[in-house]
């Protein structure tokens, strides 16, 4: 049986400010209506003999992954949570261990969650071509047929053959331009896609032979796995002891079982704003435009507005990206340096590296509207049937005004309903909870007032999502009452 494995890690810093560490590019609809994660899952859904999805994600993104899988119509999935990132070799190992627990003949289709594939039919045909080799003990990777001498990707040199599955002669690092041109001319080199098709048992056997330390740590971490709602939590201490290594360095570059299937499917890793410009359909002047944009005498630009009007005059070969709380302007040839901006934001302790103004939570989202000394205003959206945690504050009071839907409010010993245009007051020190009992999203304007409005003024007493019983400046749940 084929088991799709979706690797959901990565922070997508090169696509800042649209991609943030708490809401990175795999959760965004960069091309089309589906997010990159959803497109990856649906791509595998049409394959024959495919079983439930195994997603490997970090703990911070667990609710996002589960929600997006359900929105994509995926009802059967295992979501394995990594307490710390340890790269792809351990991630594939824990997925293999999980798959073998259900299917002793499991074959894994390992896919990053943030890649673009324009031709799903060609992708599925390549997977089908590689299945016999994977079932026969080969570790199959997919080599992208290069379209230009790219210096940003690693390459795979394939054996000289016309067969759909070919031997691997060498994995090579990112080349300089002259070397890349030679690779392209030879016709035997392919871009390393990071997509794999391999028997779960075969992979673990090779990992045991080549990197027994990684396998041992993963087995120990999975032996103490705990089930939490939809999640499988790996033992934190044991998994943290695992060496961090990619599947390429740990296994593929050293195994004699490696094979490659050439793949021509309109693939891109969407690794930068320049890449997004290159893969999109350009309009007048070679511009790629999203959102509310007026471009006058502008050529060769990628311009994206997430809300406000963006207007340009006399601009060439630039990337301009507007979000609610940040604007990026950079020459297209310099967009790889966006990560330097993210590094500066982190060094300065600014939240724009991690969060959007709208922050997503398992129950919905909240967005800052205004803040000043002694007060701040937020817009809270609670999804149908969801609720915030039971909590209280020591230094602030809150007003809630319902602008859409119906709210069930627990305040002290009272429980009551509020409908549109009704409001309530939550005094300082009183336990409270907000819930949406209806079938449409609940929208509430929250006005906080008090002497201290810091993120650590919250005590949690109960939570249906299994989060910590109390919060003190938690990076996972930072963000006022609406973050709980």
Please write the tens of the pLDDT for every residue from 8-33.
Answer: 988 889 999 999 999 999 999 998 88
Residue 210's pLDDT is what? 98
Q: Where are the alpha helices (DSSP H) in 136-272?
A: 177-186, 200-210, 212-223, 236-240, 247
CB 190 within 8 A of CB 143: yes
The H or E element that residue 375 is part of is strand 375-382
What residue ranges of the chain are covered by domains with CATH 3.90.550.10?
2-268
Q: Could you give the CA distance from residue 239 to residue 94 in angstroms, rounded to a whole number?
A: 10
Segments of the chain assigned to CATH 2.60.120.10: 358-483
CA distances from 219 to 9, 87, 234 (A): 20, 16, 10
Q: What distance in Å separates the CA atoms of residue 349 and residue 340, rounded to the nearest whole number? A: 14
Contact 473, 461 (CB under 8 A): no
* Geometric angle at alpha carbon 197, from 194 and 198, rounded to 5°: 120
| Unique residue bearing structure tokens 């990053």 | 112
Query: Residue 112 to residues 176, 342, 428: CA-CA distances in angstroms?
Result: 25, 22, 46
**DSSP string computed for 314-345:** S-BSEEEEE-SS-EEEEEGGGGGGHHHHHHHH
pLDDT tens digit sequence for 239-292: 999 999 999 999 999 999 999 999 999 999 999 999 999 999 999 999 999 999
pLDDT digit string, tens, across residues 160-214: 998 999 999 999 999 999 999 999 999 999 999 999 999 999 999 999 999 999 9
| pLDDT of 295 over the 70 cut | yes
Query: Which is higher by pLDDT, 483 or 418?
Result: 418
State the Cα–Cα distance between residues 142 and 62, nearest whole angstrom. Answer: 28
> Rounded mean pLDDT of 461-469?
76
Give me the pLDDT at residue 477, please. 40
Identify the pLDDT of residue 467. Answer: 66
Q: Which CATH number fits domain 358-483: 3.90.45.10, 2.60.120.580, 1.10.3720.10, 2.60.120.10?
A: 2.60.120.10
Q: How far apart are CA 28 and CA 305, in angstroms?
A: 14
Do the strands 116-117 and 107-112 form a parallel or antiparallel pair, or are they unpaired? unpaired
DSSP of 51-74: --EEEEEEGGGHHHHHHHHHHTT-
Indicate the CATH number for domain 2-268.
3.90.550.10
**Residue whose pair of structure tokens reads 């929208």 in the numeric block:** 443
| pLDDT value of position 52 | 84
- Average pLDDT in the 282-310 region? 97
Please, is 473 exposed, middle or buried when counting C-beta atoms within 10 Å of its C-beta (0-12, 13-18, 19+)?
exposed
46 is written with which tokens? 């049409």
Antiparallel, parallel or unpaired: β 189-199 and 155-158: antiparallel
Q: How high does pLDDT run on average in the chain?
A: 92
**pLDDT value at residue 177:** 93
- Reported residue count of the chain is 484
């Amino acid at each position: 049986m084929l088991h799709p494995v979706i690797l959901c890690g990565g922070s997508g810093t090169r696509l800042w400010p649209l991609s943030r560490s708490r809401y990175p590019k795999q959760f965004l609809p960069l091309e089309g209506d589906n997010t990159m994660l959803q497109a990856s899952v649906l791509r595998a859904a049409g394959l024959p003999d495919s079983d439930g999805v195994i997603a490997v994600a970090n703990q911070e993104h667990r609710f996002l992954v589960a929600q997006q899988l359900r929105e994509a119509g995926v009802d059967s999935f295992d979501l394995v949570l990594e307490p710390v990132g340890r790269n792809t070799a351990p991630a594939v190992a824990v997925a293999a261990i999980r798959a073998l627990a259900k299917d002793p003949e499991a074959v894994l289709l390992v896919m990053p969650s943030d890649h673009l594939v324009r031709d799903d039919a060609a992708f599925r045909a390549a997977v089908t071509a590689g299945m016999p080799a994977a079932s026969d003990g080969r570790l199959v990777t997919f080599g992208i047929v290069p379209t230009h001498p790219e210096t940003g990707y690693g390459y795979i040199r394939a054996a000289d053959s016309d067969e759909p599955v070919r031997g691997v002669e060498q994995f090579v690092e990112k080349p300089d331009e002259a070397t890349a041109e030679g690779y392209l001319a030879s016709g035997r080199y392919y871009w390393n896609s990071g997509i794999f098709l391999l028997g779960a048992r075969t992979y673990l056997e090779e990992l045991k032979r080549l990197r027994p330390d990684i396998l041992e740590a993963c087995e120990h971490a999975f032996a103490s796995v705990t089930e939490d709602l939809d999640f499988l939590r790996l033992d934190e201490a044991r998994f943290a002891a695992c060496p961090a290594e990619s599947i390429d360095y740990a296994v593929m570059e050293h195994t004699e079982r490696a094979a490659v299937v050439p793949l021509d499917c309109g693939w891109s890793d969407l690794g930068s704003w320049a890449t997004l410009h290159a893969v999109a359909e350009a309009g007048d002047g070679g511009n790629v435009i999203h959102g509310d944009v007026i471009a006058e005498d502008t050529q060769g630009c990628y311009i994206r507005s997430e809300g406000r009007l963006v207007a340009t005059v006399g601009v060439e070969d630039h990337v301009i990206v507007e979000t609610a709380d940040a604007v990026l302007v950079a020459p297209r040839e310099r967009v790889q340096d966006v990560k330097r901006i993210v590094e500066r934001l982190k060094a300065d302790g600014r939240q724009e590296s991690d969060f959007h103004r709208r922050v997503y939570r398992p129950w919905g989202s909240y967005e800052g509207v205004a803040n000043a000394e002694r007060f701040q205003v937020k817009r809270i959206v609670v999804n149908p049937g969801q609720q915030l945690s039971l909590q209280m504050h020591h230094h602030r009071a809150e007003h809630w005004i319902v602008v859409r839907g119906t709210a069930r409010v627990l305040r002290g010993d009272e429980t009551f309903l509020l409908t549109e245009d009704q409001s309530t007051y939550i005094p300082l020190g009183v336990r409270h909870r907000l819930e949406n009992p209806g079938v449409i999203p609940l929208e509430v304007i929250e006005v906080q007032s008090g002497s201290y409005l810091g993120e650590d003024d919250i005590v949690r007493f109960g939570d249906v999502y299994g989060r910590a019983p109390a919060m003190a400046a938690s990076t996972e749940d930072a963000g006022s009452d609406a973050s709980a």
